[in-house]
Amino acid sequence: MATHHPGLTHLFQLKKKISITMENLDLIILTTIVVILFLVFILATFKELQEDAKKPFEGGKERGPRADMMEFIGRIFSEKNIEPGEKKELLNTIKKKIEAIDVSDNKTNS
C-alpha cells in the first residue's frame, strides 16, 4: 500500500493552479491591452474635445450642388426684376428636377 506524502499532494495542487494561470495568461494579456487602448482612446477624445472647446468654430462657405441650388433659389426670391409668375414657373421647374433626382437616387440605391 502506497501512501501519499502530504507535502507531495500540496505540490500537485500548486502545480495544477499554476498551469491554470498559465493557460489564462494570454487572455489576461489581451484583456489588459484592450483596456489600455480603450483608455487611451477615451483620453485622446477628451483632450481633442477640450482643444476644440478653446477655439471658436470657423465655418467656411458651404460648397457643393446643394449649396449652389440654395443660393440660386435665394437669388430668385431676392431679385426684384423677376415677375411673380416667372418665380412660380422657375420653382415648379426646380421641384420637377429635384423629384427626378430623388427618383434616380432611389433607383440607384435599390
CA 68 to centroid of chain Cα atoms: 28
According to the model, what pLDDT value does residue 108 have?
A: 72
- Top pLDDT among 29 and 67 is at 29
pLDDT for 46-76, tens place per residue?
999 998 888 887 777 777 787 787 787 777 7
pTM: 0.38
Per the structure block, which three cell numbers stand in for 46?
Answer: 477628451
DSSP reduced 3-state for 35? helix
